[in-house]
Amino acid sequence: MDKFYLTTAIDYVNGAPHIGHAYEKIITDVIARHFKQRCDDVYFLTGTDEHGIKIQKTAASAGITPKELCDENAQKFKDAWKALDIDYTRFIRTTDEDHVKIVQRIFQKLVKNGDIYKNSYEGLYCSGCECFLNPKDLTEDGLCPDHLKKPEIVKEENYFFKLTKYKDAIIKHIKENPDFIIPQFRANEVLNQLEDIQDISVSRAKSNVQWGIDVLDDDEQSIYVWIDALSNYITALGYDVDTPSDKFKKYWPADVQVIGKDILKFHSIYWLAILMALDLPLPKHILAHGWITIDQAKMSKSIGNVISPTSVLESFELEYPDAFRYYMATAAPCGKDGNYSDEDFKEKVNAHLANSMGNLLNRTLSMLVKYFDGEIKEEFFAVKNNELVGGSISLLKTALNKVDLVKNNFDNFAIAEAGLEIVNLVDITNKYVTDNAPWTLAKEGKMIECGQVLTTVLEIMCIISALIYPFCPNIAESMAKQLSFDLSKKLDDLTYENIKTGVLISKENIKPVFLRVDSELADKSKSK
C-alpha cells in the first residue's frame, strides 16, 4: 500500500459542531490512524463548507459579514477536533483562496465541454437542503422530509449540470463494483434515486444569493454548492484543469470518502458525474455512516438535546478524549445508526477500558514487580527463535490472528466490529490469567511457570496496545510506555516477541492507564 487518502464531509458552518459531526470525524481519524500502522503515507482531509444562503442570512441577522461568521464557526470546528485528537493532514475551507480559484476553473471547463448550460427554472427550493426538491419527495403536508419545512417556489435563470448524461455510467459503476458504496445495502437506495434524476442547478442568481464563488464571465451568477463543496476533495490536493499537482497525482483517487447517509445521493451520484465530466478516476469507496441519536431520540434544537462533543469531555472531567473516541467509534455497526447516553457511556468505557483492559495490564505488571522485582527472565518466554513453545501457544496464535481480523474489519471499514475484536482479545487474555492463576503458581513455588504466564500476558498487551491505538492513542501510548514497547511498529511487523529481557518496570512506574469515570480518583471534584 503506497498511499491512503481519506476524506470526511465538510461541515456547514451555520452553527457549532455537535456530537454527530464528532462521530464522523472520530471514525475517520480511527481509520486514518489504523492505516498509518500499515502504510507510510496517509493523507486525511476534513474541513468546512462556507458558502450559501443560510450563511448569508445568519450573518445578516447577527449583524456581521458572512466571512466573519465563517471565521468564527470554522475555528469552533478546529478547536473541537483538536480536543478530540483528530489528526487531519489538511483542514480545507471553501473560502480558501486556492479552492476558490480552482472551482472557478473547473466550472469554466465544464461549461466549455458542454456539461454546463444556462436555463430558466422554477422549482421548490429547500434552504435547509440547499437544493431543489421534486414534489414527490415531499411529505403529505408538502414539507421537506429532512427539515420539515415548506420549500419556497424559486424562479431563476441558472446554470445547470448535465447530470442525466452520466446516469447510465453511474448505474454501471455501482452495479459492477458492489463494494463501492459501504454498506452495500445502501447501493439499492442510490440505484432507485437514479431512476428519475434530472439535471441539477449549479449556480444561483446573485440577486438571491450573494455569498458564493463568482462565476467567471458572468457577473450575475454565483457557483452553487455542488461544484463548490464537492470539489474540495480534489482542490485540497492541488487539482487544476490544465496542470494537476504532483500531490494530486499521488493521492487521487480517494481510498475512502466518509459521509453521512443523508448526503449519500450527492456523493454517489452528483460527485461521480462531476468526476466523469472532468475525466478523473472515481473514489474507491464511499462509506455512508448512520446517525447518532441522543437517548434514542433524534437530535433537535427544538427538543434541546443537541450535545457538543467537548461538553462530554468536560462533564466527565476527562483529561484525554480516548474514552469518548472509543465509545463513539464503537457506537454503531458499519453504516447503521448509533446512540449516545451518559449512562451507557459510563458503563461501556468502564467495562472495556478500565475494568478489562486497564486492570489486566495493571495487575499483571503488579504481579511481575511483586514476584520478580519487575524483571523479565529468559526462561519466561514462550518463544524460542521465533518458535512457540509451552502452554501459551494457543493464546499467542489467537492474538496474532486477531491482528488479521482487525485488519480485515478495517479493510471493510467495519470500525465498531474491529473494536469488539480487540475487546474480545482482552477478554480471552483475562480468562487465560484466571485459568492459569499466576498467584497460585507463585504460592506453590512454581516461579518459572508463573513468570511464563505473566510474560505471555504482557506480550499480548503489546499487541493490544497497537490494536487499540487508533481508538485510544493516549491510553495506548501509556500502555506501550509501561511495556517498553515501540508503538511505531507496523501491524505486519508484530510478532510473538515484543517484550525484552531485563527489568521491565518498577512499582512506582505502574500507573492505571484509564481510571473509571465514576471513581473517586477520576472525579477531580471529589479528590480536591
The predicted structure's pLDDT at residue 525: 40
Catalytic residue among 67, 118, 155, 298: 298
Active site residue 147: yes
Asked whether residue 521 carries a pLDDT value surpassing 70, the answer given is: no
Give the domain extent around 451: 336-527
The predicted structure's pLDDT at residue 527: 35
Active site residue 298: yes
Q: Pick the last residue of a domain from 276, 311, 346.
A: 311
Taking the C-alpha atoms of residue 40 and residue 34, their distance in angstroms, rounded to an integer, is 11
Q: Are residue 400 and residue 276 in the same domain, yes or no?
A: no
Residue 100 belongs to a domain: yes
- Least confident span in 150-159, 323-332, 395-404, 471-480: 150-159
Amino acid identity at 483:
L
Q: What are phi and psi of 428, to 5 degrees?
A: -60, -40
Give whole-number Cα distances, 128 to 19, 143, 148, 401, in Å. Answer: 19, 12, 10, 47
Question: Which CATH number fits the domain that encloses residue 304?
Answer: 3.40.50.620
Residue 80 belongs to a domain: yes
Active site residue 34: no
The bridge status of strand 116-126 relative to strand 152-161 is: antiparallel
Residue 370 belongs to a domain: yes
Residue 327 belongs to a domain: no
Q: Are residue 299 and residue 341 in the same domain, yes or no?
A: no
Residue 500 belongs to a domain: yes
Active site residue 301: yes
376-398 pLDDT tens trace: 999 898 766 555 555 678 898 99
The predicted structure's pLDDT at residue 526: 36
Catalytic residue among 70, 129, 131, 334: 129
Taking the C-alpha atoms of residue 201 and residue 350, their distance in angstroms, rounded to an integer, is 50
The predicted structure's pLDDT at residue 385: 57
State how many domains the chain has.
Answer: 2
Asked whether residue 520 carries a pLDDT value surpassing 60, the answer given is: no
Q: Are residue 307 and residue 341 in the same domain, yes or no?
A: no
Catalytic residue among 67, 147, 155, 507: 147
In the chain, pLDDT over 90 holds for what percent of residues?
A: 81
Q: Pick the last residue of a domain from 311, 345, 380.
A: 311
Taking the C-alpha atoms of residue 334 and residue 338, their distance in angstroms, rounded to an integer, is 10
Q: Are residue 199 and residue 275 in the same domain, yes or no?
A: yes
Band of residue 296 on the pLDDT scale cut at 50, 70, 90 = confident
Q: Are residue 250 and residue 343 in the same domain, yes or no?
A: no
Give whole-number Cα distances, 521 to 206, 243, 325, 347, 528, in Å. Answer: 59, 58, 21, 17, 10
Given the C-alpha cell 513455588, which residue does it identify?
A: 445
Residue 331 belongs to a domain: no
Q: Are residue 304 and residue 430 in the same domain, yes or no?
A: no
Active site residue 51: no
Which of 142-151, 207-216, 463-472 is most confident?
463-472
Length of the chain measured in residues: 528
Question: Which CATH number fits the domain that encloses residue 384?
Answer: 1.10.730.10
110-132 pLDDT tens trace: 999 999 999 987 778 787 776 77
Q: Are residue 216 and residue 358 in the same domain, yes or no?
A: no
Asked whether residue 39 carries a pLDDT value surpassing 70, the answer given is: yes
Asked whether residue 18 carries a pLDDT value surpassing 80, the answer given is: yes
Residue 467 belongs to a domain: yes
Q: Pick the last residue of a domain from 311, 327, 351.
A: 311
Band of residue 260 on the pLDDT scale cut at 50, 70, 90 = very high
Q: Are residue 207 and residue 353 in the same domain, yes or no?
A: no
Catalytic residue among 34, 99, 126, 402: 126
Q: Are residue 374 and residue 296 in the same domain, yes or no?
A: no
**Residue 522 in 3-state DSSP?**
coil
Averaged pLDDT of the chain: 92
Residue 328 belongs to a domain: no
72-108 pLDDT tens trace: 999 999 999 999 999 999 999 999 999 999 999 999 9
Cβ atoms within 10 A of the Cβ of 264, count? 21
Q: Are residue 103 and residue 218 in the same domain, yes or no?
A: yes
Provide the whole-model pTM.
0.93
Please give the helix or strand (H or E) that residue 178 lies within, else none. none
